[in-house]
Structure 1
Amino acid sequence: MVNTALKSNAISNLNTLMKNEPNISTGLAAIKTLIKALESSKATTAIELDEELNTVVSAMESTDYSSTSIRSASDLFRKFISLAPAELIDQPDFVNILNFYNNRGRMFIERVARSRDLICKYSRPFFTNSMRLLTHSYSKVVLSVIRKAFESGVDLEVFVTESQPNASGKKMHEELVSLGINSTLILDSAIGYLMERMDAVIVGAEGVMESGGIINKIGTLSMSICAKMMNKPVYVMAESIKFVKEYPLNQTDIPEEFKYRTSVREGRKDLSSEHPEVDYTPPAYITLLFTDLGILTPAAVGEELIKLYT
């Protein structure tokens, strides 16, 4: 009964955040949902609290929001709040430990909230006047980066793929146009035709893998391969809460919960005929990753992940 209420509240909180805060990332919404669960927790031991948080994470992953983002953000959040001094852990009164976890959680949220501004700051020198950018699908962090560069006086020309099958690129194009940015919506199949005219490819990520590769909207791999063949840089904009402890070697190594939304997976044993929503772009096709931790090469991601979890 308690688990049912926890799951229901977690899903409700996540849905409310995603609906009422249109600029919030899925990862940050997941962290805020975990904080809310912490604040109302009645756990009296670390084991009970761990079970409660497992229930909340499981509930959030049962929604159709990105499981990749939810898992990575939740794992990092739980690791961060649990870094308590030994003398506190040994205390018999678990309320003091819960208060410590809540304080650490709020610190983590404050840090994550600054992520996009830091990414915009680090990436700004890479954008120059009359630069032609090609982007894929809809990414809130990519939109922020382009908007900040434009507001600082950089005149950009952006080309956005439709990003089928859900045409998420159309939303990106419309938001860019509403900001007064020169944007053109193109067919996914026009990538090769247009690539030679581009100065750079800029994409977001649902998850940054330990390998330095990324999980992102289906079609990102094709775009990145084409850019590599034509010697165009591929820049990834991603918050560190999207760093995932996974090391895929190819497309079949991507966990099914990353590739398909819950509503697609439910009750299905065979997903071979389903269209995956994401693909894996290996590090060989990525030039640089712009994160709140700094500008990273793909090879540096593994080391940063170790730091985040120690």
Structure 2
Amino acid sequence: MLTPVEEIIEEIEKDRKSGASTLTDKALECFAVFAEQSSDKTLQTLQDQLLLICNELIHSQPDMAPMFTVTQRVLSCVENLKNQNPSPEKIRKTIKELIHTIRTELVQAKEKIAAIGLSLIKNSDTILTHSYSSSVKEMLISVHKMGTTFQVIATESRPGFEGRKLAQDLGREGIHTTLIVDSAACKLLQNASMVILGADRVTEKFFVNKIGSYSLALCTHHASKDVYVVCDTTKFVPTSFSTVESKLYPDEEVLEEELPNVTVENPYFEEVPLSFIKGVICEKGLLSPKEIGVII
């Protein structure tokens, strides 16, 4: 039987539809449960267990930068306590306080991102987006609730079809949304005021998002329209960020039965050069690609 912490990690690993923000929240919950339920009696055993959890979280979703940045923040916090010769209970308490702090920061980041979105999106705009990003969704809903009237074109985002969920969520909030097949995105770009994408990782050279983002960003760039990326800074990591190799996902998501001499490849994520985008909307402001390089 899996422990509660192991159950959360397994849930994260099997999740193929949620964006990085949702998975970050699950990772924070994993640490909160560990801090609450851990029965380790010595400092060393607690640290060993914590390191194991961090490693498993990073491997559970290797393309998601917050799995790295959040785990490193937890480990650094514990490491900083070493000189105080803390008790296991002290470490558990410190982890709980850190998780609360991170969650508060993420809420504040959403509010700041929404404010930037309000200044960017105008009445009668049409926003084209791809895949499902909770950061994009929450910004659009916030802008809508503050009185701006706009429309959204959303790709269905094969093979997981998470774009359908985005369209459903936006529609329920009263935002008129047109759902399209992925391959129609570049054609319908002519109807869009701008493209807004989420990101699972942002480096000084590129951002990582759902497969199909590169071609959409390239088409938008050549059409002289703007691409914006929406995310908080937990997704900022240097290009040298070392992680396990990106996954290929199940063949049956693309092809239900085997065909002679046919091989399936099903990557979920790809890198998109920052040179294709206008900027990144985050809690630090609307940052240009050059400014991203300075911050990271």
TM-score with structure 1 setting the length = 0.78
Match of 1:10 in 2: 5
Q: Structure 2: which amino acid aligns with 1:281?
A: V
Q: Which amino acid counterpart does residue 151 of structure 1 have in structure 2?
A: K
* 2:103 counterpart residue number: 109
Match of 1:44 in 2: 42
Cα distance in 1 for partners of 2:155, 2:118 equals 23
Match of 2:24 in 1: 27
* Partners of 1:80 and 1:104 within 8 A in 2: no
Q: Where has structure 1 moved over 6 Å in runs of 4 or more?
A: 15-19
Q: 1:295 and 1:71, CA in 2 relative to 1: closer, same or farther beyond 3 A?
A: same
Deviation track 1:132-157 (CA, whole Å, cap 9, x = no partner) reads: 11000111111111111111111111
Tell me if structure 1 keeps the 8 A contact 2:151–2:175: yes
Which residues in structure 2 correspond to 1:141-220 (within 5 Å)? 141-209=135-203, 211-220=204-213
Distance 1:232 1:247 in 2: 30
Residues 1:233 and 2:226 are matched in the alignment: yes
Mapped partners of 1:159, 1:96: distance in 2: 50
Partner residue, 2:245: 256
In the alignment, the residues of structure 1 paired with residue 292 and residue 99 of structure 2 have an alpha-carbon distance, to the nearest angstrom, of: 24
Alignment partner of 1:77 is 2:65? no
Q: Contact 2:31/2:95 (CA < 8 Å) preserved in 1?
A: no
CA positional deviation for 1:9: 2.7
CA contact (8 A) 1:69 1:242 kept: yes
Q: Which amino acid aligns with 1:11?
A: E
Deviation per residue, 1:83-138 (Å, 9 max, x gap):
74xxx533334244543343233222221233222211222100100001100011
Distance 1:247 1:66, change over 3 A: closer
Report which stretch shifted further, 72-81 or 217-226.
72-81
Q: Does 1:300 align with 2:294?
A: no
Amino acid at match of 1:29: K
**CA displacement at 1:299 relative to structure 2:** 2.6
After superposition, the CA RMSD in angstroms is: 3.1
Q: 1:245 to 1:82 in 2, by over 3 A?
A: farther
CA drift of 1:200 comes to 0.5
Identity %: 23
CA distance in 1, matches of 2:55, 2:75: 17
Residue of structure 2 in register with 1:59 after alignment: 56
The secondary structure found in structure 2 opposite 1:228 is helix
Distance 1:159 1:246, change over 3 A: same
Q: Are the aligned partners of 1:81 and 1:102 in contact in 2 as well (CA < 8 Å)?
A: no
Aligned residues: 279
Q: Determine helix, strand or coil for the equivalent of 1:256.
A: coil
Cα 1:29–1:115 change in 2 (3 A) is: farther
Whether the 8 Å contact between 2:65 and 2:200 is mirrored in structure 1 is yes
Note the C-alpha offset of 1:212.
4.5
What amino acid sits opposite 1:236 in the alignment? Answer: V
Deviations 1:188-231 (A, max 9, x none): 2222222223210001112222x242111100111000010011
Q: Which blocks of at least 5 consecutive residues in structure 1 are unaligned?
A: 265-271, 306-310
**Counterpart-to-counterpart distance in 2, 1:260 and 1:275:** 5
Q: 1:56 to 1:304 in 2, by over 3 A?
A: same
CA distance in 2, matches of 1:260, 1:49: 33
TM-fit CA distance, 1:79: 5.3
Residue identity opposite 1:153 in structure 2:
G
* 1:288 correspondence with 2:279: yes
Amino acid at match of 1:104: L
TM-score, length-normalised on structure 2?
Answer: 0.81
Cα distance change, pair 277–118 in 1 and its aligned pair in 2 (3 A): same
Shift in CA distance, 11/83, structure 1 to aligned 2, threshold 3 Å: closer
Task: Give yes or no for contact 2:74–2:95 (8 Å, CA) kept in 1.
Answer: no
132-141 or 237-246, which deviates more: 237-246
Q: Secondary structure at the match of 2:219?
A: helix
1:160 Cα deviation after fit: 0.8
Question: Is residue 120 from structure 1 mapped to residue 114 from structure 2 by the alignment?
Answer: yes
Contact 1:26 1:69 in 2 (8 A): no
CA displacement at 1:49 relative to structure 2: 3.8
Q: Which amino acid aligns with 2:193?
A: D
